[in-house]
A and B are shown apart, each in its own frame.
Chain A
Amino acid sequence: MRPFDYTRAGTLDEAGAQLGKTAAVIAGGTNILDLMKLQIMTPERLVDIGRVPGLDGIEADGDGLRVGALVRNSDLAADGRIRAGWPVLSRALLSGASGQIRNKATTGGNLLQRTRCPYFYDPAMACNKREPGAGCAAKEGVGRMLAIFGTSEHCLAAHPSDMAVALRALDAKVAVRAADGSERTLPLDEFYRLPADRPDIETVLGPDGIVTGVVLPAPVAGSVQAYRKVRDRASYAFALVSVAAVVTVEDGRIARARLAFGGVAPRPWANDAVTAMLEGEAPDDALFRAAADRLTADAAPHPDNEFKLPMLRRTLVSVLRETTGLAEPSIGTDRTDAAA
């Protein structure tokens, strides 16, 4: 860890004024300190927003909810409204990290956490995300945990968040405060950039921006929601693949199928064509297999993670079977109230 100045911001304005290219925000700190200890991030100033008032609540926002950036992952997962109306978000949060980390990690920090690509994490190895133009050691290296969608020749890293995958399936938006104090909300696909030739720039936040919260749209009445995470041990591990699903079946047909995929892309991944294949159709194994094939048709795996294609397909089929009633729901699949 390089030396830095530590300042505690009392307000967002104070925090904003202290940010810049050589500064970084700290809130929960569970990822940034991990990275700073390894000198993967070397901010000269650390702006602690942990005690800024007004960012740690979950409040009604129309028919939806606004979740403050400082809401702890465990508090968000345990919130009664979330559990009832947006259960996929609870499930995703609870599948991530550990009880201790969830007690510290924040909503904003979870969105902004960095990839766990082993080459990003090792300053001795070339990484374009750490040092633009340095090259990508992962390409011909160990690739088990890398992405299969949305990569570029410059970066193959996967985004590690579970929470963000659920948010994508819920069509949530990220609230972002700009340097001038203005705020806008962005869908996740706009908030996260794909790596292209600048994998170091992961979001549209910019050096002065601060994530202030997440906006959840109204709950999807009568939906069946699921988060399924497949990993290398039973708990406390990052996803090999994950599937978040918010599915509504009406009159024997799939009325709505919002799906997002984790562990497979530089951001929570979604595929409109897959949704289009499913919506309006009757639940059916052959249909699900075709949708899964469609999903992985675009994949560009590393030689070490070709397994993610069949794994993702099978996990998606399993989730679709449970969320559409072809199979009994297992733990992780929850039904929301029929009334909104």
Chain B
Amino acid sequence: MHTQLDVNGRAYALDHDPRTTLLDALRDHIGLYGTKKGCDHGQCGACTVLVNGRRINSCLTLAAMHDGDEITTVEGLGEPGALAPLQQAFVDCDGYQCGYCTPGQIMSATGMLEEAKAGDPSHVSASLSGDVALDDSEIAERMSGNLCRCSAYPFIRQAIHSVEGKE
């Protein structure tokens, strides 16, 4: 079947098996291997991308369901020599070790910061009505869909915190 995807500002026309997930389409059809497969069941977050600006697990959705959608992957944020501030913050804070969950952490954090900016509450928000103050516990809860077995968690959050509120 045929699906049109806009990935990092570029149009791709795919001819694919209906079973192909968005993740496998990005990796093996388009050749953007930055988005990782850690579990293929929405249990680790390594495959996180932005679809129309919102973070989702690309393993748990079919490419076919995203005809015409705008996808942003980690490659779309920046590249060596021209890293996005959040990417540079991960480097500076050592917000990774093996690096495998890193693209997912970065994409998830990118989406998460927008959610917080919009005032969306979290499970640990003291009040459902107030503004969101992104302290460490808020960031931790909101990022809990991204496992990091190296357990770079404190440094990942330090990186996120360092760019929060800056454009």
Contact = CB atoms under 8 A, between A and B. Distances in A.
Interface stretch (A77-85, A165-173, A245-253): A77-85
A48 B65 contact: yes
B88 interface: no
Interface string A27-55: 01110011001000000001010100000
A1 B57 CA distance: 18
Interface residues of A, number: 39
Contacts of B98: none
B82 interface: no
B55 A103 contact: yes
A331 B119 CA distance: 17
B151 interface: no
B111 interface: yes
Interface of B: 1, 17-19, 21, 40-42, 45, 48, 54-57, 60-62, 64-65, 108, 111-112, 115, 118-129, 140-147
B121 to A, nearest CB: 7
Given A37-B40, A50-B65, A98-B45, A87 B145 contact: no
Nearest to B40: A37
Given A29-B61, A94-B123, 13 more contacts: A26-B62, A33-B21, A34-B41, A74-B115, A77-B120, A78-B121, A83-B121, A84-B129, A94-B121, A99-B108, A101-B60, A101-B145, A236-B147
Contacts of B19: 1, 3-4
B40 A236 contact: no
Contact of A95 (B54, B123, B128): B123
A33 B124 contact: no
A11 interface: no
Contacts of A29: 60-62, 65
Contacts of A1: 19
Given A74-B120, A98-B144, A99-B108, A104 B57 contact: yes
Contacts of A299: none
B123 A103 contact: no
A45 to B, nearest CB: 10
Contact of B145 (A6, A28, A97, A331): A97
Contacts of B57: 30, 98, 100-101, 104
